[in-house]
């Protein structure tokens, strides 16, 4: 039997698919990924139902939902449970060399043989910008060369890119490529509410330019960070080609969750169960094994990634995944449809919800720091940006969706013999108390500086 295929997994933190030209965004943010994806398959409606980073990657790297992983909180306490097996563990047992870059210490990254770090937050003192992807490349490319030298041993290389994660500080020329106005125009008031939001204001002031008044400038920094990262990712893809391993390497490009910019008053972060935080990319490319130029509009989610990878590279396991193997679509065969999703978050607020093709229900488990109503309902067909909460106008729809959600919870609790983890993670914020009022949450959940944010993320 010949050597098994290599796996190169780009896990891009905070990448909202609708800000990628790959998915029709008007700005050319991902020209290199766009071109590369033409040689593979793109999933148009891929979502991450359990946000943010820790539960998202737990689902991606185990093929399980949040009941299966028992992980829902950003600040998950303890290790990943032994009731699940990670992709790194499976591939390690199959004789793979496994390396993880930029995810050291996170419970979702269990099982890699080699952990490498890079500066995903640091600021260049001369420019004031943050060359995150270049810092990653300085670690990833030599490691890729090392792994490729072991000709008789396949590798799994996982890279966690941080460019679309705040602070958005792409190096030149990317900080101006999508913006040509005066970001300090005193007549522009679009950042006033952001500066007045006490929990995050000091963090934003630590990386917004002094005197910045225009929210469009910050949005352009997010897009510029994506475009900068896209250029740096091309360096890695070019190296794969130069090493002569393109024909024996499965490449996967995806994310853990999306990002909120100015939507929903959640401000440059990834909390809130709105579609901007749920919609992420998924690309597979492997010459001869994955069809070229295909785009699928099937609803898929993050737990489908691991079983699909294993099938593409020809590895069988006895794991009963919650996720689906999507390769049936490559053969024009039917795949079990999933159109409704249970949603969870324990980020800066603790909520859960239910999403159908038409409706989005969001139910607060504690009062949140934005003083939002305890129940939100959006018609995704008439109101795709989720701007008009119609929970009070459609009480029957609310009850129907709640019943579906609670039946799903009851079924999954029975199947896993565990309580819904979003119910048990009451200290998700590390404050040791359950939030009783929105004012309490607003006063308690304070980020502070960039260094504080980095420490929170590292936990």
Segment 185-205 shows an average pLDDT of 95
**Weakest-pLDDT range from 124-138, 236-250, 308-322, 366-380:** 124-138
Tokens found for residue 233: 């990712």
Every domain of the chain and the residues it spans = 6-331, 341-458
Predicted confidence (pLDDT) at residue 398 exceeds the cutoff of 90: yes
Segment 32-47 shows an average pLDDT of 98
Instruction: Read off the pLDDT of residues 224-283 as tens digits, 9 standing for 90 and up.
Output: 999 999 999 999 999 999 999 999 999 999 999 999 998 899 999 999 999 999 999 999
Closest C-alpha among 459, 417, 432, 434 to residue 70? 417
Q: What is the pLDDT of residue 88?
A: 98
Buried b (16+ CB within 10 A) or exposed e, 416-450: beeebbbeebbebbeeeeebeebebbbeebebeeb
The CB density around residue 289, as the number of other CB atoms within 10 Å, is 18
Q: What is the pLDDT of residue 446?
A: 87
Mean pLDDT (the chain, rounded): 95
DSSP 433: S
In whole angstroms, what is the distance from residue 64 CA to residue 56 CA? 10
What are the helix and strand counts (H, E) for the chain?
14, 14
Q: What is the pLDDT of residue 458?
A: 47
In whole angstroms, what is the distance from residue 71 CA to residue 108 CA? 9
Look up the CATH number of domain 6-331.
3.40.720.10
Q: Helix, strand or coil for residue 291?
A: coil
Instruction: Read off the pLDDT of residues 407-424 as tens digits, 9 standing for 90 and up.
Output: 999 999 999 999 999 999
Fold for 341-458, please state it. Answer: Arylsulfatase, C-terminal domain (3.30.1120)
Instruction: Read off the pLDDT of residues 446-459 as tens digits, 9 standing for 90 and up.
Output: 886 555 555 544 44
Q: What is the pLDDT of residue 120?
A: 84
Task: State the Cα angle at 183 between 177 and 188, rounded to 5°.
Answer: 135
Cβ atoms of 405 and 361 within 8 Å: the answer is: yes
Task: State the Cα angle at 417 between 412 and 423, rounded to 5°.
Answer: 65
Instruction: Read off the pLDDT of residues 299-328 as tens digits, 9 standing for 90 and up.
Output: 999 999 999 999 999 999 999 999 999 999
Instruction: Read off the pLDDT of residues 60-116 as tens digits, 9 standing for 90 and up.
Output: 999 999 999 999 999 998 889 999 999 999 999 999 999 999 999 888 899 999 999
| Model confidence, pTM | 0.96
Q: What is the pLDDT of residue 259?
A: 98
List beta partners, residue 250.
7
Classify residue 183 as exposed, middle or buried by CB count within 10 Å of its CB (0-12, 13-18, 19+): buried
Predicted confidence (pLDDT) at residue 354 exceeds the cutoff of 50: yes
Buried b (16+ CB within 10 A) or exposed e, 300-332: bbbbbbbbbbbbbbebeeeeebbbbbbbebbee
């Amino acid at each position: 039997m010949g050597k098994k295929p290599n796996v190169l997994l780009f896990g891009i933190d905070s990448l909202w698919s609708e800000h990628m030209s790959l998915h029709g965004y008007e700005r050319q943010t991902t020209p290199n990924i766009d071109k590369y994806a033409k040689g593979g398959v793109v999933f148009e409606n891929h979502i991450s139902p359990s946000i943010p980073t820790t539960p998202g990657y737990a689902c991606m790297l185990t093929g399980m939902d949040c009941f299966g992983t028992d992980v829902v909180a950003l600040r998950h306490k303890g290790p990943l449970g032994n009731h699940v097996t990670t992709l790194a563990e499976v591939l390690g047992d199959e004789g793979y060399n496994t390396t993880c870059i930029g995810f050291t210490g996170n419970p979702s990254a269990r099982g890699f043989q080699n952990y490498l770090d890079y500066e995903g937050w640091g600021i260049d003192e001369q420019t004031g910008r943050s060359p995150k992807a270049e810092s990653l490349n300085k670690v990833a490319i030599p490691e890729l060369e090392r792994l490729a030298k072991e000709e008789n041993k396949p590798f799994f290389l996982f890279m966690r890119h941080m460019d679309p994660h705040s602070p958005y500080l792409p190096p030149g020329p990317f900080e101006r490529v999508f913006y040509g106005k005066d970001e300090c125009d005193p007549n522009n008031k679009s950042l006033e509410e952001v500066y007045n939001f006490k929990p995050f204001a000091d963090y934003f002031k630590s990386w917004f330019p002094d005197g910045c008044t225009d929210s469009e400038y910050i949005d352009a920094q997010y897009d510029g960070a994506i475009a900068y990262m896209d250029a740096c990712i091309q360096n890695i893809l070019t190296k794969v080609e130069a090493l002569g391993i393109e024909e024996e390497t499965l490449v996967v490009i995806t994310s853990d969750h999306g990002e909120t910019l100015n939507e929903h008053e959640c401000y440059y972060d990834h909390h809130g169960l709105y579609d901007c935080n749920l919609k992420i990319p998924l690309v597979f490319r492997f010459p001869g094994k994955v069809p070229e130029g295909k785009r699928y509009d099937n609803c898929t989610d993050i737990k489908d990634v691991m079983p699909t990878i294993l099938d593409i590279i020809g590895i069988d396991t006895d794991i009963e995944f919650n996720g689906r193997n999507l390769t049936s679509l490559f053969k024009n065969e039917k795949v079990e449809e999933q159109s409704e999703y249970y949603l969870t978050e324990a980020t800066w607020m603790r909520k859960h919800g239910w999403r159908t093709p038409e409706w989005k229900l969001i139910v607060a488990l504690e009062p949140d720091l934005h003083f939002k109503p305890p129940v939100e309902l959006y018609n995704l067909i008439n109101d795709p940006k989720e701007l008009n909460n119609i929970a009070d106008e459609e009480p029957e729809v609310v009850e129907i969706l709640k019943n579906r959600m609670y039946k799903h919870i009851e079924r999954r609790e029975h199947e896993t013999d565990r309580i819904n983890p979003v119910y048990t993670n009451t200290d998700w914020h590390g404050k040791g108390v359950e939030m009783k009022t929105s004012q309490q949450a607003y006063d308690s959940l304070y980020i502070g500086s960039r260094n504080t944010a980095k420490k929170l993320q590292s936990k």
